[in-house]
Chain A
Amino acid sequence: MPTISFFQKDFERLLGRTAPLEQLESWLPLVKGELKDYTQATGEIRLELQDSNRPDLWSVEGIARQIRIKLQGSPLAYPFLQTKTKPKRSILVAEGLERVRPYVAACTATGYTVTEESLTQLIQAQEKLADLYGHKRKTVSVGLYRLSRIRFPVTYGLVKPTEARFTPLGLSEKLTLQEILTVHPKGIEYGSILVDQPLLPLLWDTEGQILSFPPIINSQDIGQVHAGDSDLLVEVTGTDMRMVLLTLNIFATNLADRGAVIDPIDIQYPYDTEWGKSLRTPCDISDVQKIPLKAIDSALGLPFDAELVQQTLRAYGYEVKASRHILAVRLPHYRSDLMHPVDVAEDVAISRGYDSFVPLMPAQFTVGSLSALEMMSDYIRDHMIGQGFQEIFSNILLSREELVDRMGLPAADQVVEVDNVMSQSFSCLRSWILPSLLRVETASPRAFYPHRLFEIGEVAIPDSTHELGSRTMVQLGVVIAHPHANFSEVHTCLDMLMFYLVKDYELEPLSHESFLDGRAGTILSQGQSVGLIGELHPEVLENWGISVPISVFELDMDWLCAES
């Protein structure tokens, strides 16, 4: 979700009227925007835009446009989509790019003089679109150029990494593409997009001047736009044609909203595309879709009149033709997020305003309940509290050291481990509760004794027979720590618990690295192991930096539920 900043004055200029902050805030639901920051002195506004399917709203031009349409109640007309004359300029795509970065779209914007402010906005939109929508330039990237220097037709072609040399933005000497990838900051940052490509994409004009090396870097000469420039070329390349076309449409519309005249450019492909071998950009990319009015009604819970829906959708930028039961709708050219009639339904609701819908209480009767496991957990929690134990509630990502090494377990012991570790401290899912309770003991030697702690919670136990490679289990862990803590005391606690659970159990001597030999046992119920009990080995206590004796038990909870 991108956050953008712009100036109130710029926004008002685009909107064509004044917009005090409160007024602006009242419009924000139209663009799913959230005000993050407002600096009164400068009029700078920071907005977070929520909808990742609406990149057209990631710029001040787009936000102003959506509100303008609402205020005037109908879509805006963009003549560059209507013109029938053949474009004066063209870009020729070379063979082979279908395997590297197949698509390109471009247009010119003239008659509008770029200001410092609008340049900042253009660059911000360029970055947000390429970074978030274009997956860090992988799917889509955008280039802006000074049109006056370029001699058409332009070629979008492939060259060998060492074949072409130009001065990239930010440098003063000519480098080969190979050198740019290894030396230039942008080459290093985005080079992975072109890894293993024997030939690299390049844009050059009919005089052989290099425009840019997409998606890495523009040329210093042609590809650097300054405030005061009034004739621009906008170009988008990428791997997803719809996204490439949409991105160009957004840029063309943003510039048109600022007053530029947009002239389309012809793109000639040597290979087939979804839009054919030759097309003119910008262009409409959405088809008319027929949607039953009923779909809107049932989604929104109100019987809508076709006329009203038409009005509502037009006030949100749609082209609409409504008959009695069917809506024929088309998204504006700067959007491409209509997948299902429910998307139209939401736009109807947004355009009408969510406040205009009267909430209706769901009336159907359902029975509420807790899972058997949760009920059993709650029963045992109450029991343990009655026995005087403090409940503990832990984070369950721990380190391997805590789960295995400090417990004295063999290094080969299996736990569910994270592959993309952020911090070793949170790299494993706990496989038992006890280490969580010992973390508390290590941190709390100054809390007065006795410490009687328990936790009931989830653990993940590696299990190669399970389809997920591990089982999520709920277990009870109990710790008693004080200068005279021993087996007998914790055994009493277990015994009382089992008595009230009406469960028979036996203890079978257990040899376990975490416990003192001869003072540990497996808890057996009907011959099945359901837990363990014992006095912690002094070595384990030393590993944890604990200086009181500790006796513990840990009990599987799923077993208790399965039986009852």
Chain B
Amino acid sequence: MQTSAVYDSLHPLEINLLAAFSQSADKPVSDSSLQEISRLEPSQVSMALGWLQAKELVRIHSEVTTAWVGLTEVGHRYLEIGSPPEWIVKTCRQGAEEGRSFTVKDLQGLNTFPPAELSRAFGLLKKEGAIALGAGGRIEATETPSPTVEKLQTLLNQVKESPQELLSFSPDQQALLRQYAVKRGSAQEPFRIDDRVQREYTPTKTGKAVAKRCHAGAVEEVSQLTPDMLKDGSWRSKRFRKYTISLRPPRVAPGRRHPYREFLDLVKHKLVAMGFQEMRGPLVETEFWDMDALYMPQFHPARAIHDVYFVKTPTHAETIAEPFLSQVAATHEHGGPTGSSGWGYRYDKERARRLILRSQGTAVSARTLASNPLVPGKYFSMARCFRYDQVDATHATDFFQIEGIVLGDDINFRTLLGLLTIFAKEMAQAQESKFFPAYFPFTEPSVELHVRHPKLGWMELGGAGLFRPEVTQPLGVTVPVIAWGLGLDRMAMVALGIHDIRELFSVDLEKVRTLRGRFA
């Protein structure tokens, strides 16, 4: 295997250790030295050494067993309150100063040390002449110091920080340590002597080659670059973990336009680009503006197809603006000044005030006609409309109608067809369109626009016509006016891949978040 490939396969701990070998000029190094150089935990060193040996990058050079001396719990206690011989001498001297004296029994009664330890201490002290037994078995501390007490004290202090190799002590001390070390049958001792196997390791030939690539410190693998690494430049010595980039990333929910409204935005901007000005109107309308002003007679079947929602309260608007009410009424009854015969019925002004939910976007156009529109002028609205229909896959409770008007001296049947041709191209990218005679109560002539959509084939895109003079003149408009309406929902639904119109207004957030499509 190439050394680079071997290197790439290394765990950061392995790199760290190989670097430590490298630093020691490839000489045999003990595990304790490796620990020191690499600054790794002992467990990490032993783990990494295991891996490196398995990969045959490192082998054991030598193995030496040594004895090490450390403190036991008892030893720590001795450091705290003194060893038993030291304690006996100290306690007796203190007692003498206070005029008190102790027998062996008395000291045993203090329960500071187990009786066995105390007995050994009495034996030692008597042997070294540090105590004498007086009348009644009272213990007296002599002036003679006990050498053993002092030696023990020294040794306790020497190994209190960390274990020391037994061989580093004098033979004399070694004997004392062995005497006071834990052994079978004598658990309560201050010292412990353990055998430690010390191994020295050396890199193999491949190991040496790989080790050259390993730099001390360039070995820490990190997953995240941090500002600190950039500040102190430590990123240079880091290895950045390689990711499996073929995995899917986690999902987030971005801020996002509603897809159907995005579609309507596109339509809106196209209309503005074609020179149309937006108009708006109220959701609650009078029958007057919704239908009468559009020359839909109050009795006519064309009105029955507009099954509308009536408002519960108030049922009627207070007034309908004049002169529009009178002019529309006259036009319905006998044509008024429009040159029409009118519908020839008695117009009901009360009914004109009946409040309903707007049933068609043309109501907004009617209001615009009555408010001094620009001539020439182009207007559009995206009006929320309501029909008294059963809700199903093709009927929403409420929906948008995209409608508008064009006013101008040059407006006639041919310019109407011209406008529809532009709509076919702009709204449906259609190169082909067909016009069919249609019927709307408020336009004459009336046209239905069919286009060949590049994806959907032939479809009805909208309806249009020239407003009847019975509509425009009573509202004060004397130029011809195109009225048009576009049916674009099907295009939106196909682009979004939905088949039920209700899903355009879905309450299912997951659906809203995932609904997508490109509207060309």
Contacts and interface: CB of A to CB of B under 8 A. Distances in A.
| A and B: bona fide binding partners | yes
Interface string A379-422: 00100111111111111110000000000000000001111101
A371 B280 contact: yes
Interface string B494-511: 000000000011011110
Nearest to B420: A359
Interface in B456-508: 466, 468-470, 480, 482, 504-505, 507-508
B505 A395 contact: yes
A298 B409 CA distance: 10
B444 interface: yes
A467 interface: yes
A320 to B, nearest CB: 18
Contact of A52 (B301, B335, B412, B470): B301
A526 interface: no
Contacts of B517: none
Contacts of A363: 410
A532 B198 CA distance: 76
Interface in B308-322: 309-315, 317-319
Interface in B271-311: 271-286, 299-302, 304-305, 309-311
A390 B389 CA distance: 30
B339 interface: yes
Contacts of B281: 472
A365 B398 CA distance: 34
Interface in B228-268: 251, 253-258, 260-261, 265, 268
B309 A369 contact: no
Interface stretch (B58-66, B186-194, B340-348): B340-348
Interface stretch (B33-41, B70-78, B430-438): B430-438
A337 to B, nearest CB: 10
Nearest to B289: A468
Contacts of B283: 396, 416, 429, 458, 460, 470, 472
Contacts of A374: 268, 278, 280
B447 interface: yes
Contacts of B279: 371
A96 interface: no
A360 B257 CA distance: 37
Interface residues of B, number: 106
Contacts of B276: 366, 368
A387 B255 CA distance: 7
Q: Which of A50, A343, A346 has the most CB of B within 10 A?
A: A346
A397 B386 contact: yes
B397 A426 contact: yes
A159 interface: no
Interface string B417-432: 1111110000000000
A342 B444 contact: yes
A364 B268 CA distance: 20
A242 B255 contact: no
Contacts of A447: 253, 508-510, 513
A467 B505 CA distance: 31
Nearest to A242: B344
A364 B408 contact: yes
A369 B271 CA distance: 9
Contact of B418 (A53, A340, A350, A359): A359
A135 B299 contact: yes
B447 A354 contact: yes
Contacts of B251: 448
B344 A394 contact: no
B44 interface: no
Interface string A425-458: 1100100000000011111101110111100001
Nearest to B251: A448
Nearest to A342: B444
Given A340-B468, A440-B509, A443-B509, A460 B255 contact: no
Given A342-B468, A366-B377, A426 B261 contact: no
Interface stretch (A3-11, A299-307, A514-522): A299-307
A308 interface: no
A340 B470 contact: yes
A350 B436 CA distance: 9
B309 to A, nearest CB: 5
A30 to B, nearest CB: 8
Contact of B301 (A135, A354, A460): A135
Contacts of B434: 355
B255 A419 contact: no
B415 A362 contact: yes
Contacts of B83: none
A472 B257 contact: no
A395 B398 contact: yes
A384 to B, nearest CB: 7
A77 B377 CA distance: 47
B317 A467 contact: yes
B437 A346 contact: yes
Contact of A390 (B256, B398, B413): B256
A143 to B, nearest CB: 21
A362 B406 contact: yes
B439 interface: yes
Contacts of A429: 283-284, 357
Contacts of A342: 444-445, 466, 468-469
Interface in A5-54: 29-30, 32, 50-53
B509 A469 contact: no
A339 B340 contact: yes
Contact of A389 (B255, B384, B508): B255
Contacts of B470: 339-340
Contacts of A299: 412-413, 445, 466, 480
B446 interface: yes
A50 B463 CA distance: 12
A552 interface: no
B413 A366 contact: no
A402 B480 CA distance: 46
Contacts of B439: 1, 32, 50-53
Contact of B255 (A362, A370, A390, A472): A390
Contact of B412 (A29, A301, A393, A396): A301
B2 interface: no
Contacts of A384: 255
A357 to B, nearest CB: 6
Contacts of B285: 468
B277 A369 contact: yes
Q: Which of A52, A464, A468 has the most CB of B within 10 A?
A: A468
A397 B397 contact: yes
Interface in A342-357: 342-343, 345-346, 349-350, 354-355, 357
Interface in B378-415: 378, 384, 386, 388-391, 396-398, 406, 408-415
Contacts of A85: none
A367 interface: yes
Contacts of B280: 371, 373-374
A492 interface: no
B275 A365 contact: yes
Contacts of A360: 412, 414-415, 417-418
Contacts of A416: 283-284, 311
B468 A368 contact: no
A469 B314 contact: yes
Closest 7 CB pairs of A and B: A301-B412, A301-B414, A444-B509, A364-B376, A346-B445, A359-B417, A368-B272
Given A440-B512, A469-B284, 17 more contacts: A340-B444, A345-B413, A345-B444, A350-B437, A354-B435, A354-B437, A355-B435, A388-B255, A390-B255, A396-B283, A396-B398, A422-B390, A426-B391, A444-B510, A447-B513, A469-B311, A472-B281
28 contacts: A135-B299, A300-B414, A300-B445, A301-B412, A302-B414, A340-B335, A340-B341, A346-B444, A346-B445, A359-B414, A360-B417, A361-B419, A361-B422, A363-B410, A365-B376, A366-B276, A368-B274, A370-B272, A374-B280, A378-B265, A387-B255, A390-B256, A396-B283, A397-B398, A429-B284, A439-B507, A447-B509, A452-B253
